Each structure stands twice: as C-alpha cells, then as structure tokens.
C-alpha cells in the first residue's frame, strides 16, 4: 500500500493556511520525501511521521521553498541519535549546496549523509524504482517518478491442482526460480498464476513550465502531481511555472488517472482556486484533486482515496 501525504501544498512562502512544498511517500514502512521546504519537520510532527523513517530525500531544485527544511530535518535526526545513512538526491549543484548547508553553524551530523547528483536517471531500490527527468524552471530542476515494480499474479488453485501442486516449500521455490521440474514436467510460474499486477506509478514535477518530457514520463500514471501555480497565464509574469489549464492538458495527453494541482500561489484562496480548477478540469475531462496540507491519498485496488490526517486525529 502507498500513502501520498501532502505536508506542504503551496508555493513561494508559507501562509497561515498552508506550508511550502514537501510530499511524503509512505511505502512498506519507509518514508520517502519529495522536497523539504521550510517547516517540513513541523509538518511531519503534526502528521505523526517520524523523520527517523526517512532514508531518501529527493530535492527537485534549489529554490528556498523546496529545500530550506533540509537542515532542520538532519539536525533533528542527529538529535535523536540516528546511526544509519541518509541519502539526498537532486539536480546539478546538489553536492555543493548540501555540503555548504551541512557546514553552516556549529553543527555536524553524526551519521553519513550521502549526496547524489542526478540527470535523467533510473534508480532501482528494492520493490520500487525512482526515475528522474529534467523539467523547465530556469535553473537545474528535476521531476521524479515513483514506480512500484509489477507483481506476479496470484496462484490459481485450479491450475495448481492440474499440476498436482499444493501450498508449501515447492511453491516458494517456483516463485524464486520461475520454473521447477515436478512429476516429470517442467512447470513455469506463469503456468499457475494469473496476470501480472501493474505497480503503482506516481509522478511529481516540482516547479516547471509544461514540457513534453513530463507527458512522456507521466504516461498512464496513477497520480500526477503537477505544478499548477497560477489560474491564468497573465499572472505568471516571467516565472517558470504552469497554470491549471496547462497542468490539465499534460494530464489529459499523458492519460493519467488522477491529477493533483500543486504549488498554488498565495494570492488565491483555496475556494477561489478550487472553483476555477473545477471548471477548467471538467473542460479537459480530467479527474483531479486540489490537495490541502495533511491530505493523504491512499492507493488501493487500482485507485486513490483521499482523507485528511489531521481530521482523523481530532
């Protein structure tokens, strides 16, 4: 099961209503952070997410609203006597900027911080992969894809019976090796299982103008979290951000199942933004959400359900 936890949904500066960007992916007990804007540790505490479960942080780019919470996270981990390494990923200059960050003040982490500079890279990390792709923000900037590995289909009792197989070590061997010899026959895993189940795919653009690479990497994603800072192009000025309509167009072309409109400019109220987004997304025929801070999208049975974790805590 995958939870997508929105710790900060706004852009540029925090407000009373919402914090700056940070998204936590909770998968099989691990917490992966996508960006870590100012105040991310506070947001994690409110959402009851332990920073000690974070082993990987992926920074999209080095504007302050996307990375200034990194030092507080690392210092908190150190205060709590973290021992295992932390991996920080980002675009060009990540090594230089994180090194400078960690050398500021009277502080040095007591655990290893491994820094990785990425281009368009595919990282294989156990049951999932992270792909990075270049976006257009006027400075080195990346988007990220979380892609769960496809899973084998379930064992089919009628097929097992046909080959005289039953639960036990022999099925474990078949699953590990992909084929076995049994009663004089070679049996392949696909002979006794249903269709493979497609792993969940989540794409996060960070800050960007609409670009073709996003459409390519987001193809048939279960969830696309796209920069949708502005309601109309006139508000954009010289900024490298997308509008709601542009995000909807990318989502439609990429045939994604659900679009999350992200990085809302502080000039818009939630109600104003949501009303206009609803009108635009209906025109494009796109299924969408406008997440608030602490909204959680949980992936089950091929789709996402939404709840707010603060509401659950009362």
- The residues annotated as belonging to the active site are 65
232 and 249 in contact (C-beta within 8 Å)? no
164 burial via Cβ count (<10 Å: 0-12, 13-18, 19+)? exposed
Rounded Cα gap, residues 94 and 139, in angstroms: 12
241 is in an annotated binding site: no
61 is in an annotated binding site: yes
41 and 76 in contact (C-beta within 8 Å)? yes
263 is in an annotated binding site: yes
Nearest CA to 94 out of 123, 57, 144 is that of 57
HEC secondary structure over 129-147: EEEEEECCCCCCCEEEEEE
65 is in an annotated binding site: yes
137 is in an annotated binding site: yes
Count of all residues that appear for the chain in the document: 314
Rounded Cα gap, residues 112 and 58, in angstroms: 16
114 is in an annotated binding site: no
Residues 6+ apart with CB under 8 A from 289: 258, 259, 260, 261, 295, 297, 306
**Residues placed in the known binding site:** 61, 63, 65-66, 137, 207, 263
**Residues placed in the known binding site for Zn(2+):** 61, 63, 65-66, 137, 207, 263
């Amino acid at each position: 099961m995958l939870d997508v936890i929105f710790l900060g949904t706004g852009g540029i500066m925090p407000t009373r209503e919402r914090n700056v960007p940070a998204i936590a992916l909770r998968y099989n007990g691990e917490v992966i952070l996508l960006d870590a804007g100012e105040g991310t540790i506070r947001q994690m505490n409110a959402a009851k997410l332990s920073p000690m479960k974070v082993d990987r942080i992926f920074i999209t780019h080095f504007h302050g609203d996307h990375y200034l919470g990194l030092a507080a996270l690392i210092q908190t981990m150190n205060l709590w006597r973290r021992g295992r390494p932390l991996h920080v990923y980002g675009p060009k200059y990540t090594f230089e900027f994180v090194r400078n960050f960690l050398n500021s003040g009277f502080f040095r982490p007591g655990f290893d911080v491994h820094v990785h500079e990425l281009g368009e890279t595919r990282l294989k990390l156990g049951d999932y992969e992270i792909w990075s792709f270049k976006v257009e923000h006027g400075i080195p900037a990346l988007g990220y894809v979380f892609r769960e590995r496809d899973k084998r289909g379930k064992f089919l009792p009628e097929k097992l019976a046909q080959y005289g197989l039953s639960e036990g070590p022999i099925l474990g061997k078949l699953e590990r090796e992909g084929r076995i010899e049994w009663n004089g026959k070679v049996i392949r895993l696909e002979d006794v299982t249903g269709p493979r189940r497609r792993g969940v795919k989540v794409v996060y653009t960070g800050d960007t103008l609409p670009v073709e690479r996003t459409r390519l990497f987001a193809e048939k994603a279960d969830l696309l979290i796209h920069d949708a800072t502005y309601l109309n192009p006139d508000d954009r000025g010289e900024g490298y951000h997308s509008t709601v309509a542009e995000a909807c167009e990318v989502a439609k072309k990429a045939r994604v199942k659900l679009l999350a409109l992200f990085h809302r400019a502080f000039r818009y109220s939630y109600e104003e933004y949501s009303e206009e987004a609803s009108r635009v997304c209906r025109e494009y025929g796109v299924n969408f959400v406008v997440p608030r801070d602490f909204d959680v999208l949980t992936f089950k049975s091929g789709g996402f359900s939404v709840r707010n974790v603060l509401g659950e805590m009362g």
